[in-house]
A = this chain, B = another copy of it.
C-alpha cells in the first residue's frame, strides 16, 4: 500500500479564503439570463426583487476570478470543513483494479450533502441585507435541510416548498427542517397562485422542482423582507461550491497526485460545477488536461438528450430565462425515479463548458446506480446518497475498464452526500421492486416543444 492516507485532510487554515469564479477564465461566457417578457438580457438590478443584492452581483460577475469568503461564512465552514478527500483503498481492492480511486466526501454534516456550502453563504448575505427571511424549493430535501441549518444559525425565517413526492417519500427530512425552525409546504400547494394553477392543470401531480421554484419565488416576492434563494443551477451557487474543487485540488497537490479523470453527478450542476471548477480553470488557461465526466440519470437526461436553448427555469414561468441544456420546463421524471437529480435543466456555466467540449456526459439507469451504491457501502462503509451514486456507478465502470487495460489512472469523484434519508428507495431496491424508466424521444420532444423561441 502506498503512503497516501485513507483520508487526506487539510487543516482549517487551508480552507480556501476565496471562492474561484470560473467564468473569469471562460472565453465563451455563459449566456445571460433574459427577461421572459421582453427577451432582453437582465442586469443585476433586475434580479434584486427576487434575490439578495450581493448574490445578484455575484450572479452577473463574469470578471472577478476570486471572491473573498466572508469571515462569518468561513467560521461556519470550520464547523464541518475541510471535508476529507478519501482514497478508496477498499473499493480498489474489491474491484481488483490498478486504478487509484479518490472521492471528495461532502456528506459529513447534518444536511447530508454539499448543499450547505452555498446555503450558509446565501443566508449570510440575506442577513447582511437585513432581511426577515428567505423562501426556497427543495427536491430530495438536501437543499431545504441545508438552508434551514444556515438560517437557524443566522436567526432568519425559512419557508421551504418541498416537491410533493419527496415530501411523502422523505417525511424525516421535513422533521429535520422543522427542528431547525423552518416551515415546510408540499408543492404544488394551494397556498400560492402558481401552485393552484399547476394543481388545476396537472391534477394529482407528484410535483417537480420547477413547480416548487415557481411557488417559492411567488412567496418571496409577495412578502415584505423576503427573498428567494436557490440551491443549484445558478452561477452564484457554482461559485460557492468551488470550495469543493479548491479543497480537492489542494488535497491532491498535498499528496502529489495528478487527477486523470474527474467524475460528478449532475442535476442542476452545483456539485459538479464546484468540484471541477479549479481543474476546468487549468484547462481553460491551457495549463493542464483532465477528462471530466458528468453523470445524470437516464430518467432525466438533460445533457445527453436535451437541447441547448433558452428555457424557463421553472414550470410556472415566473423566473428569468436561462440558456442551458434542457428537457423543457414541463418535463417531469417518471414517478418511479427515486434518485434525485430531477431538474429539467442544467447550469448555464456547465452547459457552455459542455458545448465547448471541456467535459463529457453520460447517463445511467437507477437500478445500476443502486447496485453501485450497495457495493460501495459494503466496502467503503459509507451509505451514499442516490445522487452521489450516479458518480460511483461511473467511477466503478471506469476503474473496471482500467482493470482490462492495466492503466493506473487517478480517478476522482464527488461523493456529494449520504443516503440516510433515502431508505425508502433503498428498501425498494432491497426488495427487488425498483424499476427503470427511460423517457421516449416523443416524451422529450413534446416537452421541448414548449420552450420559448429566442
Contacts and interface: CB of A to CB of B under 8 A. Distances in A.
Interface residues of A, number: 45
A379 B90 contact: no
A237 B280 CA distance: 49
A33 B90 CA distance: 39
Contacts of A381: 76, 79-80, 109-110, 149, 153
Contacts of A430: 175, 178-179
Interface stretch (A3-11, A62-70, A266-274): A3-11
Contacts of A421: 420
Contacts of A5: 11-12, 78
Contacts of A424: 172
A427 interface: yes
Interface in A86-112: 86, 89-90, 108-110, 112
Interface string A415-445: 0001011011011001000000000000000
Nearest to A370: B179
A50 interface: no
A420 to B, nearest CB: 4
Interface string A252-285: 0000000000000000000000000000000000
Contact of A377 (B180, B379, B423): B180
A378 interface: yes
A172 B110 contact: no
Interface string A365-381: 00000000010011111
A189 B407 CA distance: 52
A383 interface: yes
A105 B240 CA distance: 27
B110 A418 contact: yes
A181 interface: yes
Nearest to A107: B108
19 contacts: A5-B11, A5-B12, A6-B12, A6-B78, A7-B12, A7-B78, A7-B79, A9-B11, A75-B89, A110-B383, A110-B418, A152-B377, A152-B379, A153-B378, A171-B423, A172-B172, A176-B426, A178-B430, A420-B420
